[in-house]
Structure 1
């Protein structure tokens, strides 16, 4: 007999998602003026709508009154830091909680919600290092326990939320891999969890009270998903799938029962977080939907009534649903005293222990790798690290930034370091802003002071080209892929490190080619200068850069190939002397290719996401070679864990170390979170950077006075603080 999940996959074979839009919901912008990724209804006599705040300036989450006589007034705004998640969990020891995990510190927080408002539960905090997109809560029909499934970059953390009226704790059950970064999820009454993301298949797994990794099933590769929600009924649930300006409705066997068009908001763009309210109010007698949206003028939360739409698709209204209802009359606990309440009873006097517990009865508290001998185990899988160490198991070298750049405008991404030809202390840092706001290149000095901003069409990854023959003279250049007009954009660098336009500084790419990442390569065999650019489909183009006699730049396409396994790529760096190109495939790892245009188009993967060191997304890649020989180091920005992995430059590119950038409280400089582009040089620049400089993008720049800056910054770190004096001296600069 076929399993239920197998049946779902088979039932969808040949299913057409293009159906008549036989129902309609007229939406209204209910709460606007902030960036949201999702919305969640909170059931109460006076219902609330919860929305994450993804903006850099405010962050955290917002609570709105959705009662009958309300005008969707905001009742709370807790500025915990920019986040994507705010989710209710009901009846935890008699209390209702809200769960939120901000990006800057990856700490899952619980807040008690009551008629008196929202208040933090201080002891209910748990750090899950990563970049998290969505969270679904499941209440076991067997035990009545509450579990969360936290979705991030190709992984899910399952945790338990339990407590009494006076205490609450969050315990990690397990972490397991998934094929994608989950951005939307929902749970049916039977515990079947659906998840997906934009332009990705719909997947499922069965939630269980077990530490055994669930089987991930591909449900459909054709269903388009931006948001997911469940409409609960006694006789069978319905799956609501939002995309474009439509909600498709499926029954429990994944049969398409109807499609609901969404009107009322021109130029609607659904951002995610579809939520359904299945209770009756005077405003919404048959319930409502809500989700995060954007249009041409604003962003926030949209809401609409369900009444006519449900009838049109043949769904009987169920406003008796209450998430606090006990799912079991005689609940049978699977977390038992036999397992010290720290594991599942697996029968035959055996236990499945939660993460951080061990022993036949799960009574022993343990930590990963015994905190790597750089700290002590202070709780279940909670390491208290010694000074100079960080990370879940205290294996990350902790370094501090000496300086950070001034505000960079909009969405910064990638830096480059220009070395002054005669006075290294006058070297400069060039950074990019890829958003429309502040788009262009910005030049900083070695203390992070802004010196120049040069507008450009949303440049992304910037590199420096030294001593390029321009007409009859040698000139330094900057190069980046410019997303705004899909061009290769180049500027001249003068003798003081400032940028200026140059003839031929905007070079075209093929029609319909959308640029994404870029880097440069100069062949030591031929002396020729090359530019690499890629799009999101991993299509790499290699151009030769030349100049006319009168000093006008020109490019010639000399090579095309697919990078990595065809997933999204961006960061790359060339080893000029070795003739290698290293590129980062964001969800998969680091690959090495021949950089010469006549080289092999077959790459070699040198580091893999999920290997115990590297985590998705792989972002910036930088290289510092030794002045002689083949030694040196490759630096890889691991965005999901806000850290950096260092490998040997020479094959087989063995792992060297992991480091992360922590708070420098004395200087008032915050830690780095959601790292992106990076740059590194080994030159002695000044007394602050005697063995070289490492520069990195900081996505969520927290301010000393509280809150988060509107604009990204870049952190400046001494390379000697990262590698140590012995390694930096061995580079030979």
Structure 2
């Protein structure tokens, strides 16, 4: 994306104001109503549970038994049904001799992971930020009440045994206690089996691991390759931190990740910078983001025409037929908390929609507002959309994390409750002036191809 000159209207406005820039006009953002929400909210135990990232698992024979599997950080995982009711609570791994306990950050689903003796299993895969591991659970379609079983290899290696030296001179050891650990995560079915792509917390690095099923049915991983990205952008040092001004606080890390399974294209969200593409079939990453965030008015990195604010969070793909569909990105922003830096155009707490194919053209934005007893969505960390007709959601389902469930405490300071909202895809598609496509059943995730 390139900077643009002032439009005629903007130039006239500046003249009328004596050349002084005024606040940006409100951006056009569609409004969408949620259908329902998960309960109970987080935290639901003595652990400091915090909803973060959802994944939808589609049942192989009975869509009504499909599940929403969610990462809730220090409280482990929560599994819900299509009515938002709790099905299973999975506690995090307890602290070991090093004092580190499990903290599950992102979660994804992989279908048809081959077993050594024949057959296959569906699995949920999560990043364990607390111990720098990849966690795996087998999903049993016939289970009653406890569908997920831990099959993680206890002898797995550390995901990120090294990290970039602070001065950029090379690699240094990376003890898990430093928490430069497994963060964002997604899965994809590569040419030789299933893989997990993981972002490193506090670093501009992504790594790809092959999932390895052992003879005993446990699942470990082996490292294949990694990608490093710049620690500066448009003259802005991304390692600068500020304790008092969010507009001057920067980070180089990625979190939101999503793979176009048909194209083998990874979309990766560098939180403060924007959206990148990596062609997983060739291993080549773009040399610059295809869409930047707005940056900061207090920085050399300041792109006012962007419709995505820092930080960009959850990414997810809506699959249509013949390569069509959409990429959705959470434009979280920083409008809440003790120290605020709200976007002047009102793009905090929104979702940006891009074309899935081609140059991934930006199409518009929407926000999820309160309706029918369900509150709206703020500071969304993770999202998942499926273009598959499900009971109660015949047009497809969008699940998003809500960082301020029930809008408590005037959304200032630390949120006391979080959860997940379910949204009918038709509500999203119909909110745009030019409605988005609705193609339930266009994508079969088990076959990895469009129907």
Normalising by structure 2, we get a TM-score of 0.70
1:695 aligns with 2:362: no
- Once the two structures are TM-superposed, the CA of residue 730 in structure 1 deviates from its matched residue by 8.0
- Corresponding residue for 1:413? 52
Task: Give per-residue Cα distances to partners, 1:596-635, cap 9 Å, x unaligned.
Answer: 4x52245442211124311110111111222x42111111
Q: Which is higher, the Rg of structure 1 or of structure 2? A: 1
Query: Which of the residues 426, 434, 437 maps onto 1:720?
Result: 426
| Counterpart in the other structure of 1:504 | 153
Superposed displacement of residue 637, structure 1: 0.5
Q: Which residue of 1 aligns with 2:317?
A: 623
Bigger RCO of structures 1 and 2 (CA < 8 A, at least 6 apart): 2
Render the CA deviation track for 1:570-599: whole Å, top value 9, x for unaligned: 111111210111100111100001224x52
Pick aligned residue for 1:670 from 348, 372, 375: 375
Please give the per-residue CA displacement for 1:16-48, whole angstroms capped at 9, x wherever unaligned. xxxxxxxxxxxxxxxxxxxxxxxxxxxxxxxxx
Secondary structure at the counterpart of residue 351 of structure 2: strand
- CA deviation digits over 1:465-506, x for unaligned, max 9? 111112322111111110111111111111058211115267
Correspondent of 2:328 among 622, 628, 635: 635
Report how far residue 462 of structure 1 moved: 0.5
**Contact 1:564–1:605, Cα closer than 8 Å, also in 2:** no
- 1:484–1:350 Cα change, 3 Å: closer
Deviation at 1:352, TM superposition (A): 4.8
Partner of 1:579: 264
User: Who is 2:204 aligned against?
Assistant: 538
2-side partners of 1:350 and 1:481: how far apart?
51
Name the SS of the counterpart of 1:425 in structure 2: helix
CA contact (8 A) 1:470 1:553 kept: no
Q: Give the match for residue 112 of structure 2.
A: 467
Q: Find the residue that maps to 1:629 and give its secondary structure.
A: helix
Q: Is the 8 Å Cα contact of residues 442 and 454 (structure 1) preserved in structure 2?
A: yes
Equivalent in the alignment of 2:358: 651
SS for the counterpart of 1:722 is helix
Partner of 1:303: none
The separation in 2 between residues aligned to 1:350 and 1:575, in whole angstroms, is 47
Seen in structure 2, the aligned counterparts of structure 1 residues 704 and 583 have a Cα distance that, compared at 3 Å, is closer
SS at match of 1:421: coil
For each residue in 1:642-686, what CA deviation from the matched residue of structure 2 results, as whole angstroms up to 9, or x when unmatched? Answer: 01001111021011221100011x2x1111111111111010001
CA 1:652/1:706 → structure 2, altered by over 3 Å: closer, same or farther?
A: closer
Supply the distance in 1 between the matched residues of 2:361 and 2:197 (Cα, whole angstroms): 25
* Closer, same or farther: CA 726–658 of 1 in aligned 2, 3 Å: closer
Partner of 2:72: 433
Given that 2:327 and 2:355 are in contact with CA atoms closer than 8 Å, whether structure 1 keeps it comes out as: yes
Deviations, residues 199-240 of structure 1 (Å, cap 9, x unaligned): xxxxxxxxxxxxxxxxxxxxxxxxxxxxxxxxxxxxxxxxxx
Q: Distance in 2 between matches of 1:452 and 1:466?
A: 20
Structure with a larger share of its residues in strand: 1
1-side partners of 2:316 and 2:182: how far apart? 20
Give the whole-Å Cα distance in 2 for the aligned partners of 1:518 and 1:707: 28
Q: Is the 8 A contact 1:433 1:460 kept in 2?
A: yes
Unmatched tracts of structure 1, length 5 or more: 1-342, 357-366, 369-391
**Partners in 1 of 2:52 and 2:37 — Cα distance?**
14
Instruction: Indicate the larger mover: 407-416 or 559-568.
Output: 559-568
Cα separation, 1, equivalents of 2:291 and 2:378 = 22
1:532-557 CA distances to partner (integer Å, 9 max, x unpaired)? 11212122221111223442323111
CA distance in 2, matches of 1:685, 1:663: 23
- Number of matched residues? 344
Instruction: Tell me if 1:404 matches 2:37.
Output: yes
Distance 1:564 1:447, change over 3 A: farther
- Length-normalised TM-score, structure 1: 0.44
Pair 1:520-2:194 in alignment: no
What value does the CA root-mean-square deviation take over the aligned residues? 2.7
Asked if the contact 2:404/2:411 (under 8 Å) is kept, the reply is no
The answer to whether residue 260 in structure 2 is matched with residue 555 in structure 1 is: no
